[in-house]
């Protein structure tokens, strides 16, 4: 089978050796493709902020936050519900706004605001769980997405020169 890795006692070491020896492709995926995936770029050219995987995943996060905040008590309508929704919406909004800026410094600044909004949302989710407003699995789903998006944002910031 083309692109398949031959049996090896320790696949990780095998792949590491392949990379050290200068192989451009490991397991059928080039280094450049892996780098692009790490910073949230699909295989097509980036024409819009909508093409960024990190923006797409942050939009999914917003939808999830809106769904779970519907279950919060009415007494939290202007408290946690509002704050969680604003923090969630801030993430893809700042990615889009930063992408539209001409200077890379401004882009990086908006990405850092997105990351700060993620941390704000993370705190609010943990608080909601501690107050028994959210179940373990609901909070866990949001926290997992937050962690994934945070890593993608950090990687994207480091790649912007």
The residue extents of the domains of the chain are 1-38, 49-159
Structurally, at CATH architecture level, domain 49-159 sits in Up-down Bundle (1.20)
Structure tokens at 112: 């850092």
Q: What is the dihedral of CA 50, 148, 160, 62, to 10 degrees?
A: 40
**What are the residues whose beta carbons fall under 8 Å from the beta carbon of 8, sequence distance 6 or more?**
14
**Chain segment 41-71, per-residue pLDDT in tens:** 545 677 899 999 999 999 999 999 999 999 9
What's the pLDDT at 102? 79
Three-state DSSP at 132 gives coil
Please state the pTM of the whole predicted model. Answer: 0.72
Residue 34 has pLDDT above 90, yes or no: no
What's the pLDDT at 160? 86
What's the pLDDT at 2? 41
């Amino acid at each position: 089978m083309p692109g398949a890795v031959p049996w090896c006692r320790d696949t990780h070491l095998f792949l590491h050796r392949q990379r050290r020896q200068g192989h451009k492709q490991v397991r059928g995926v080039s280094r450049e493709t892996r780098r692009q995936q790490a910073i949230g770029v699909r295989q097509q050219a980036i024409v819009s902020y909508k093409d960024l995987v990190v923006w797409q995943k942050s939009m999914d996060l917003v939808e999830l936050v809106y769904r779970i905040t519907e279950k919060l008590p009415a007494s939290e309508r202007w408290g946690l519900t509002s704050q969680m929704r604003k923090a969630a919406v801030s993430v893809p909004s700042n990615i889009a706004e930063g992408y539209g800026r001409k200077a890379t410094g401004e882009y990086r600044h908006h990405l850092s605001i997105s990351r700060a909004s993620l941390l704000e949302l993370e705190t609010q989710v943990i608080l909601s769980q501690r107050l028994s407003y959210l179940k373990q699995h609901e909070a866990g789903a949001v926290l997992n997405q937050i962690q994934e998006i945070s890593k993608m944002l950090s990687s994207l910031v480091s790649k912007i020169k």
